[in-house]
Each structure stands twice: as structure tokens, then as C-alpha cells.
Amino acid sequence: MHAPNQRFGALLFVGGVPHALCGLMAVFGGHSCIAGRAEAYSALSFTESPMNYLEFEKPLAEIEGKAEELRAMGRGNPEMDIAREAEALDKKAEAMLRDLYKDLTPWRKCLVARHPERPHCKDYIEALFSEYTPLAGDRNFADDHAVMGGLARFNDQPVMLIGHEKGNDTKSRIARNFGMARPEGYRKAIRLMEMADRFRLPVITLVDTPGAYPGKGAEERGQAEAIARSTQKCLEIGVPLISVVIGEGGSGGAVAFATANRVAMLEHSVYSVISPEGCASILWKDAEKMREAAEALRLTAQDLQKLGVIDRIINEPMGGAQRGPRETIEAVGKGIEAMLKELSGKKPEALIKDRRSKFIEMGTKGLAA
């Protein structure tokens, strides 16, 4: 594995060669324009920190907290024998965790999908892709930091990568606008998809957004039109397009990246036309009815697979991706690899037809359930 390569900029020139072309040359196996190779990526940068418990996990938090208190007492006083008591609490916590997650309600799945400690787009890029070369801007207005995108290698195969990034602390979340893309983010995605189509590169998208940004400036710059154009471009490109919902798949902001040949979802991710809170506010004028709205929206991976909206569910570790980020990322990598194999060798016309047919047929399956 390799760390992200820092070859930025399309207007810089190195040795008479446009810097953006240097990235293309690197992806296609040419010599890198930047001296030195990316350092080997040996371990994911997940640090051990106190678990951020969800509302329904409070009983579990108490048990795990007591077990940790016992261990702390044992470390402070080596003569105390607390191993047996701590082990008993660990077993009780493990049983409770399994009980909590064996049959999550749709609303609880929403909470898990929004968990701040789940792996984000940047984590997947660092772990699964090598020679990542970011490409910035929509060539019209600005660069949208809520959307990451660029050239990379997946299992040594050149690909185009696009994804929403929410950030992992207050500063980065503000910079990334909490994963809510503006029109320039969707226009950047369109530009990258066109480039991928031109150079016959598969496109991989990682979806994790509450929805497109609803601000005044975004609407003035044509938010709805940008989303529609991005969705249209997904349907037009003649290369394999694979999408994975890794957290929230909110509204048209998600569809603009996920109109793909193959759509996968993590086990506890969600994908819907509107958030449960927004739906409850519109239908019942009461955002507190979000639990009923989540049930009605059928936004879970399990429901959407039955309805034919998605093709694959990628299992998460017990307790969700936030408790096993490395295992989750590895599972997503295997899922992407399998979906790429399914589409390899298909002609552009067949890929476009397959994608269009998939979305035209949606709504004809599972409605009587």
C-alpha cells in the first residue's frame, strides 16, 4: 500500500510537461514527474481513543466503562486480582453488543451510519489505493473540498476515484462542509468522469453525504442543474462505474455519484431520497417522528437490496464499522475487486445499456412486500 501522492495542480509545469499530465503518465505506467516514490503504507492511521457511544448503546457503555475501571485499578495496584471480574464484564458486554446489533431498527441504522468514527473516504483512499493523484476544481468556479477525486491505482489497475469526505474533527468537518457538496463539487465529478471515459478508466465512487448543500450561494450557482448533469454523465460514460455507500447516501447528492453499473452498501449504511428528520417535518410537521419516517422510507441496505436498488451488501464487523475500521475497509476492497471483475471485458455500449436498464427497471421489484 502507498500513501497518497501529493502531485497537485493542473496549471503547473515541470520540465515543459503540464503537471496534470504527469499524473496521467504515472497512472499509465510512465515515469513520475516528482522525484522519489510514495512511502509504503504499512498501517492505517486509526488511533485508539475512547469510544463515542450512540444513544441506544448507553447500557453497553456502562458495562465497558466498569471493565475499564477495574483494569485501571489493577494497573495502579498490581496486587489486586481483577482479571476474572474484568473478563466476566467483557463477556457480558460482547453478548449485549450482539443483542443490540442483531436486528437494528432503520432509525438506529441511521445513527450508526452517521457515527463520526466510521472510516471516511480519505481512509479508504489511503488504505486501498496507491499513487493517488488529486485533481482539483471544476474549471469554472472553484474547488469543492467536500468532494475528493483523482487518479489512482486499485490492485495496480488505473482507476478514477471520486468520493464525499466529511472530515474527522471540527476543523476538517468545516473545511469539508460536512460532506455536503456544492455545484462545483458535482461539476468536478463530471470533469473527472469525462476524463475517465476518454482514457478508458473504471470509475469508483464512495458515497457518504447527508445531501447536497442547500445554501443560497449553491442554489444561485445551479445546484439542481449540477446534480442532474452529474447523474446524466453517470449514465453516459462507457466505462465500468462502481459505487459504494459507506455511510449516509442522502438524496440527489448521493444519486449524482451512485448511478452506477454496480451499487453496494455497507451493512449499516443508509440510502434515501430525504433524511428521516426532513421527511417527518414535511409529512407530520414534527421532526421528532423521525423513527416512523425511517421505517417508511425503507432506507436500509437490506430493504434496498430486496427492492433491486442496490446489488450487494458488504458486511461490517459486529458493532459497526466504527468498531472495526480496518476490517471494514478490507471488506470494501474485496467488494470493489469482485464488482470490477464482473464488469471487466464488457464493451462501452454494453456497460451503458446495462446501467440504463438497471435504473429504468427500478420500482418494478418488491413493491408488494
Q: 49: pLDDT confidence band, cut at 50, 70 and 90? A: low
User: 308-321, pLDDT tens digit by residue?
Assistant: 999 999 999 999 99
User: 224-259, pLDDT tens digit by residue?
Assistant: 999 999 999 999 999 999 999 999 998 889 999 999
Q: Is the pLDDT of residue 195 over 90?
A: yes
pLDDT for res 46: 52
Q: Is the pLDDT of residue 158 over 80?
A: yes
pLDDT for res 81: 72
Domain ranges of the chain: 55-103, 111-360
User: 10-20, pLDDT tens digit by residue?
Assistant: 333 333 333 33
Arithmetic mean of pLDDT, 127-146: 93
Arithmetic mean of pLDDT, 209-218: 93
Q: 366: pLDDT confidence band, cut at 50, 70 and 90? A: low
User: 60-75, pLDDT tens digit by residue?
Assistant: 988 888 888 888 887 7
Q: Give yes or no for a contact between 309 and 262, defined as CB atoms under 8 angstroms apart.
A: no
Q: Is the pLDDT of residue 43 over 60?
A: no
The CATH architecture annotation of domain 111-360 reads Alpha-Beta Complex (3.90)
For Cα atoms 181, 186, 192, give the angle at the middle one, nearest 5 degrees.
130
Arithmetic mean of pLDDT, 134-156: 93
pLDDT for res 338: 96
pLDDT for res 7: 33
The share of the chain scoring above pLDDT 70, in percent, equals 85
